[in-house]
Amino acid sequence: MKNKFILLVMAAILLFPTISTAEIKDNDINIIQDDITLSIKQSTSFIGVNLIIENTGTEILNDVEWSFRYKAAITGTGVFINEKIENGLIEDISPGTIETLSFIPFGLGNIYFNASVEVNDASYRTQQLAYLLLVAPILFKDTYKDISPAEAYQRLENEEFDLVIDVVGLDIYSLGHLPGAVNYVWADGSLRDKIPDLDPDLTYLFYCHTDPPSTESAQALVDAGFTDVFRLEGNFAAWKNAGYPVET
């Protein structure tokens, strides 16, 4: 009985973030780009969240593809323990029209909400970190944006990243890294020391060889007030396995 109690306590420590140190933010997160306002809002019933897509332009938006993903994570590790993706198509959204999609994720602890919309060959996305208590998110916090190797490659080709940062140790970085990537190591504090010298108005891509350094590094920039921070999903292995170029 005592051993079971100890196991329960250990599980609680892993799954529950420390609420007292979490940053309480407005529960309305908006991304406004061109003719679309993409928002994640806490449901008025306090159960679940709403993805709100608003056409703020003057033309009808046709074939609006949306995707909403929520991923539960073990606090402070960068390890994802559950993931669910929902997606669909809205045939058209007239100017001034608002479409509201409701989702009810279930879980305890940290959860990432990742919303994206694609229309007219343009992509819009936002991602937030929340604390989920069963079906009720009780706070939101700005976070980095996950990005697939395919999208990262396209953005790299289009020179949309001002700086690509590999946070792995120097001995591993020298064996292979993304084209043009610089090496600011997370483990030894090099990145933390570099943050004050970085421009918060630029666009950054982070990656490593495992999740914890890349997620923690990207989040460190967001916590410092940076807004355009991306993280390569699957890290270096996913990039290399996809056949994209590597420098040594």
pLDDT tens-digit map of 27-66: 444 444 568 888 888 887 778 889 999 998 889 999 999 9
Q: Which two tokens stand for residue 22?
A: 């979490």
User: How many angstroms separate the CA atoms of 44 and 50, rounded?
Assistant: 9
The model scores a pTM over 0.85: no
Residue ranges of domains in the chain, CATH in brackets: 19-142 (2.60.40.10), 147-241 (3.40.250.10)
Distance of CA 216 to the CA centre of its chain: 11
Give whole-number Cα distances, 146 to 42, 44, 99, 247, in Å: 21, 27, 24, 23
pLDDT tens-digit map of 117-147: 888 877 787 888 888 888 778 778 888 988 8
- Position 70 scores a pLDDT of 87
